[in-house]
Amino acid sequence: MCGICASIGKENEVQDVVLGLKKLEYRGYDSSGIALLGDEKISCVKSVGQIKNLEKKIDKNLCCPVVIGHTRWATHGVVSEENAHPHISQDGQFAMVHNGIIENFEKLKTQLDVCLYSQTDTEVFVNLIASKTGETLFRLLQAAKEVVGSFAVALIHKNENKIFVAKRQSPLAVAVSKTKSMAASDISVFAGKFDFCYILDDNQFAVMEDGKVDFFDENGKKIQKNPVFIGDFDFFEETLQEKYFMQKEIKEQPVALRKEFFKYFSECPNLDFEALKKCKSLHFVACGTAYHSCLLGAQFVQQFCKKPCSVSIASEFRYARQTFSKKCLYVFVSQSGETADTIACAKLVKEKGCKVMCVTNVPYCTLEQMSDFVFPTFAGKEIAVASTKAYTCQVFALLCFALLLSGVDKKESLKNFVKEFEVLPFQEKLLKEICKFKKVFFIGRQQDYVTALEGSLKLKEIAYLNCIGIAAGELKHGTLALIDNQTLVIAISTQERLKEKMESNILEVKARGGKVLLLSNLQHNFTPEFRIDLPDFEECFMPIVSIVPLQQLAFFYSLALGFNPDKPRNLAKAVTVE
């Protein structure tokens, strides 16, 4: 993963790059660094941990016309200052920041006669560039041909007042004004500074100068690119009244859903439903939380449209030996629209000549650009690594999509739901009880099984608790062996038609001494040890209602253990590597 940011100009390039890195911190926060070019000398400042640690090392008044910066999510090599970017070639001529993975770096390393100081693939890449001869752009073009894998890079040469950038399978955009040029992994970095930007396609290169940028193809031929108007984006700066973004984002869910309802039913989504209705089946593909949204999306489409649906985890789908059907609509769900596995699957589907629809939260993201149909979500910017409002907005979006596709008119009940849905305060006293259990299982059936999966992912992700979500009916096929009086089973039960089945499964747990926390809007014939009463809504809305207390549980659990719920260890918000 990682984020890169580079700036050349006569303004506050150092501060702008650091600010840019802060905006990109969602892409990784293991370490960060900048390289400065001044008086034909390259110098670096690096730090382990969040950007605020780097910031402390940089003089606030430091000026430099050429700066490249990086925030890292470790792929090759441990988290350390040596492995932090930028990396300098052994001859001291070049410095480079890189987002992506060079898959053949071990092989390239053996071909280079250099002594490396880090364990990174990037140091190999920059030395490969240095080993070439000729102009810097030419060297970069040559090296890019030899590397296998993904990259978005910014490169500087110690004698040139220029920044060279290149992209393959990792996002990169460039913006230019009269006084400066910037490059970044994400266009939110340009907000407030530029009116237009250019989004690079794979195997495109650019040479940035002060107030000027030229684009090139992989053969070094100059190309023209069309600018994208930045003013179209909803880039309001995130301010934080609560201490954590996750807390803020949990609270924002009702407002986000209202906005989404308005966008779908008052402004009408810009989708050709007549064309979409011709599809005979749907195949949903995503990763992590977005995969859970897909599981619900498939249930909604099956229920309302009576079309067969299947769901795949993107990292599995891309290597499955499967057949593709032109009559199937392939739906890719992704908050960021930059997830490497999801993008690879969409690419594969397109290559087979099939139709791609995406459900994404970030306008102009990579996934959106390659899709035939776009059904956006309107969660607003989500910063905490653990997805909350983006998930509920995806679920609501997929419900609305299924209804619009089916022609079933449920506008009034959707409207009433978004009007009445609220985030209730979490019963913090429950937390004390729950924290006593070191073994936690989440169980549910059908849509509640999806909530079980998502609830357990949240708890794993930010409280580092080893817990699993399991289909309630599957317990007796193995997992029941783990249940004892030290076990907490969180049971979600929101479907009247499956109530008795859930009760049987819960009684099986209780018979083995397991303790039960029941999340339900229904009347049950047993007494659980703990209970969270859910507000009562129509069944199809309950996945949105029931996940909220589980998001809160994970949040408060994480805090109780002294962790930062916004930035869980080993993770990043956008997973742009395979």
Q: How far is the CB of 575 from ligand AGP (least distance, A)?
A: 5
Q: Is 552 a binder of ligand AGP (CB under 6 A)?
A: no
Q: Which has the closest alpha carbon to 256: 107, 416, 422?
A: 422
Exposed, middle or buried by CB within 10 Å (0-12, 13-18, 19+), for 577? buried
Q: Which is nearer to ligand AGP, 199 or 287 (CB)?
A: 287
Instruction: Pick one of 20, 288, 444, 455: the residue that binds ligand AGP (CB under 6 A).
Output: 288
Whichever of 461 and 566 has its CB closer to ligand AGP, that residue is 461
**250 forms part of the interface with ligand AGP (CB under 6 A):** no
Tokens of 568: 């869980």
Q: Is 520 in the site for ligand AGP (CB under 6 A)?
A: no
Q: Considering only 177-185, 382-390, 441-449, 487-495, which stretch makes contact with ligand AGP by CB under 6 A?
A: 382-390
Tell me if residue 2 is catalytic: yes
- In single-letter form, the type of residue at position 148 comes to V
Measure the CA dihedral 292/293/298/299, to 10°: 80
Sole binder of ligand AGP in the list 150, 387, 494, 558 (CB under 6 A): 387
Nearest by Cα to 286 from 447, 395, 152, 151: 395
8 is an interface residue for ligand AGP by CB under 6 A: no
- Decide whether 189 or 314 has the Cβ nearer to ligand AGP: 314
Q: Closer CB to ligand AGP, residue 184 or residue 385?
A: 385
Of 75, 342, 371, 576, the one binding ligand AGP (CB under 6 A) is 342
Q: CA nearest 342: which of 334, 350, 354? A: 334
Binding of residue 289 to ligand AGP (CB under 6 A): yes
Q: Segment near ligand AGP (CB under 6 A), from 67-75, 105-113, 287-295, 487-495?
A: 287-295
Residue 406 makes contact with ligand AGP by CB under 6 A: no
Residue of 46, 167, 381, 573 marked active site = 573
Find the shortest distance in angstroms from Cβ 312 to ligand AGP.
14
Angle (CA) 38-210-131 rounded to 5° is 60
- Separation CA 376–CA 268 (nearest Å): 12
Q: Which amino acid is at 125?
A: F
What span, in angstroms and rounded, lies between the C-alpha atoms of 139 and 220? 10
Is the Cβ–Cβ distance between 181 and 196 less than 8 Å? no
374 binds ligand AGP (CB under 6 A): no
Contact 508, 416 (CB under 8 A): no
Please measure the distance between the N-terminal and C-terminal CA atoms of the chain and give it in whole angstroms. Answer: 9
Q: According to CB under 6 A, which one of 2, 182, 290, 400 is a site residue for ligand AGP?
A: 290
- Which of residues 189 and 386 has its CB atom nearest to ligand AGP in the complex? 386
Residues in 107-136 at the binding interface with ligand AGP, rule: CB under 6 A: none
169: which DSSP letter? B
* Measured distance CA(7)–CA(163) in Å, rounded: 8
249 makes contact with ligand AGP (CB under 6 A): no
Residue 129 beta carbon to ligand AGP: minimum distance, rounded to whole angstroms = 31
Out of 152, 206, 287, 331, name the contact with ligand AGP by CB under 6 A: 287
Residue with smaller CB distance to ligand AGP, 187 or 386: 386
Please state whether the peptide bond connecting residue 86 to the residue before it is cis, i.e. omega within 30 degrees of 0. yes
Helix 542-560 with 253-265: angle, nearest 10 deg? 150
Choice between 36 and 463, CB closer to ligand AGP: 463
Asked whether the beta carbons of 510 and 516 are under 8 A apart, the reply is yes
Contact segment (CB under 6 A) with ligand AGP among 43-51, 142-150, 379-387, 443-451 equals 379-387
Q: Does 188 bind ligand AGP (CB under 6 A)?
A: no
Q: At a CB cut-off of 8 Å and minimum separation 6, what does 185 contact?
A: 2, 3, 4, 5, 24, 27, 99, 152, 170, 171, 172, 173
- Out of 187, 399, 518, 575, which residue is the one contacting ligand AGP (CB under 6 A)? 575
| CB closer to ligand AGP out of 160 and 454 | 454
The site map against ligand AGP for 210-229 (x = CB under 6 A) is --------------------
How far apart (Å, rounded) are the C-alpha atoms in residues 563 and 571? Answer: 13
The one among 32, 89, 335, 446 contacting ligand AGP by CB under 6 A? 335
| Tokens at 49, concatenated | 């941990």
- Confirm or reject binding of residue 461 to ligand AGP (CB under 6 A): yes
- Does 499 qualify as catalytic in the annotation? no
Nearest distance in Å: CB 481, ligand AGP: 28
CB crowding 147-167: b at 16 or more within 10 Å, else e: bebbbbbbbbbbebebbbbbb
Q: Which of 18, 67, 385, 400 binds ligand AGP (CB under 6 A)?
A: 385
Q: For residues 346 and 337, is the Cβ–Cβ distance under 8 A? A: no
Listing DSSP states for 292-357 in one string gives HHHHHHHHHHHHHH---EEEEEHHHHTT------TTEEEEEEESSS--HHHHHHHHHHHHTT-EEE
386 counts as binding ligand AGP under rule CB under 6 A: yes
Q: Which of 2, 345, 365, 400 is catalytic?
A: 2
Is residue 100 within 8 A of residue 169, CB to CB? The reply is yes
Closer CB to ligand AGP, residue 457 or residue 492? Answer: 457
Binding residues for ligand AGP, rule CB under 6 A, total: 15
The minimum distance between CB 414 and ligand AGP, in angstroms, equals 23
Residues that bind ligand AGP in the complex, under the rule CB under 6 A: 287-290, 334-336, 339, 342, 385-387, 461, 574-575
| Enzyme catalytic residues | 2, 573
